[in-house]
Amino acid sequence: MLLLFVVVIILIFFGLYKRKSIAEKAVRWHFNGPVENVRYDVKRYPWVVINGTEFNLYYTVWDFNVKINKGDTLIKDTGDTRIKLIRQGTHDTISFNKRINLAGR
């Protein structure tokens, strides 16, 4: 029973550490370009390909009621979790401006 408890604690610690390190990596991302491909996982988080690189937008500020389409332009600056979406052909711009404090996680 004690062994099971220790294993569970280790798994929780590892999961939290991994999540924080991935979130910190996402803050360093910079992209500005058209969406070449978009897919959604089972939890409705978008994965997009921009300039040949795939990004999981789980760790960014995003409104999940807004769907990303192939050809839309996404802009994200280094050091920020916010994203700007510009719709293809219309130039309608949607900005997601809520900041996330990673230090508080």
Over residues 63-82, the mean pLDDT reads: 88
Cα 29 to Cα 13: distance, rounded to the nearest angstrom: 25
Local confidence band at 105 (pLDDT 50, 70, 90 cut-offs): very low
Question: How far apart are alpha carbons 102 and 26 in whole angstroms?
Answer: 11
Reported as a single tens digit per residue, the pLDDT across 8-57 is: 887 777 666 565 666 677 788 899 999 999 999 998 889 999 999 999 88
Total Cβ atoms within 10 A of residue 74: 21
Higher pLDDT, 98 or 6: 6
**How is the chain split into domains, by residue range?**
2-99
Mean pLDDT value across residues 63-89: 88
> Going by C-beta distance under 8 Å and a sequence separation of 6 or more, which residues neighbour residue 30?
76, 77, 78
Res 71 pLDDT > 90: yes
**β-strands 73-76, 31-40: how paired?**
antiparallel
Q: What is the 3-state secondary structure (H, E, C) of 45-83?
A: CEEEEECCEEEEHHHCCCCCCCCCCCCCEEEECCCCCCE
Across the chain, what does the average pLDDT equal? 81
